[in-house]
Amino acid sequence: MAGRVEGKVALITGGGSGIGEATVLRMHEEGAKVIVVDINRESALKVAENINAMGGSASAFVADVADEEATKAMIKHAVDTFGRLDILHNNATALEAGAVVDLTLEGWNKTLAVNVTAPFLATKHALPVMSAQGGGAIVNTASISGTRGDYGMSAYNAGKAAVINFTRSAAIENARFGVRMNCVCPGAIDTPAIQSMTGAGKVALPHVSLAGKGELPKLSAEASQHVRERMMNAHPIGRLGLPVEIANTVLFLASDEASFITGAAYIVDGGLTAHTGLPAMM
């Protein structure tokens, strides 16, 4: 079905790569005007220029989404540029990995700031705009890591769990104002972040670090492939997810097709959390 968000204005944070970039493209393909927000100016501009080159309407905005003044300016930019704001996708993320005893307070705070405080701030300042215009849809990127624990990812686990319950609380507060709010919980998705963490890509990601080291370990090609294969095999579907598969879920939740859905956490993980983790016994 084409035109699922025709004439709407969508703002996507972390829109310069990965799931965010895929969501920008899907929103454009289905008729929305888009604001591409990223902390990386070059990435935001590249994605916005690509949309405009295809005949769409896009504007890039550079922001640290954990900063309240930057967030206010981001929402204002959307309204000033396109006259309204119908869809907000809080997708930007950060991660400091490491055992609890190795985590720095700085890394813990940054992880929670980008994963929890940023969606709160964007939601807080988008709600008055959406309520005044009669409604809107907010979709947060949570994670299956917000529903289960991971070795060495306590800050990220805590942050994504907070996103899920923040989504629920904000959803019930604002449903009567015509604003729906949901979150998507991806499994392992083949984004630049995953590629960097498994050694499959050459992408430098300042928002992903290893506690106490400041960077991810350098793995041999063989070790990198082994890690990647283990991640793929952990999913019953037998592969990593694609950014567009999460973008399609975000698009659905933001569209009128999901008009009776609010406060939901959509698991999109290739069956990973359906599994107990025990080995096959047949």
What are the CA-CA distances from residue 245 to residues 18, 155, 262, 273, 282 (Å)? Answer: 11, 26, 20, 17, 31
Q: Which one of the listed residues 61, 82, 108, 156 is annotated catalytic?
A: 156
Is residue 151 annotated as part of the catalytic site, yes or no?
A: no
- Cα 121 from Cα 63, distance rounded (Å): 13
Distances 280 to 236, 270, 275 between C-alpha atoms, Å = 11, 17, 10
Distances 242 to 20, 33, 190, 247, 271 between C-alpha atoms, Å: 12, 23, 6, 9, 14
CB 124 within 8 A of CB 138: no
DSSP H/E element including 139: strand 136-141
| Per-residue CA distances from 267 to 13, 70, 147 (Å) | 20, 30, 10
Burial class (CB in 10 A: 0-12, 13-18, 19+), 83: exposed
- Tokens 């080995």 locate to 279
Q: What is the DSSP track for 70-82?
A: HHHHHHHHHHHHH
Q: Which residues are catalytic?
A: 156
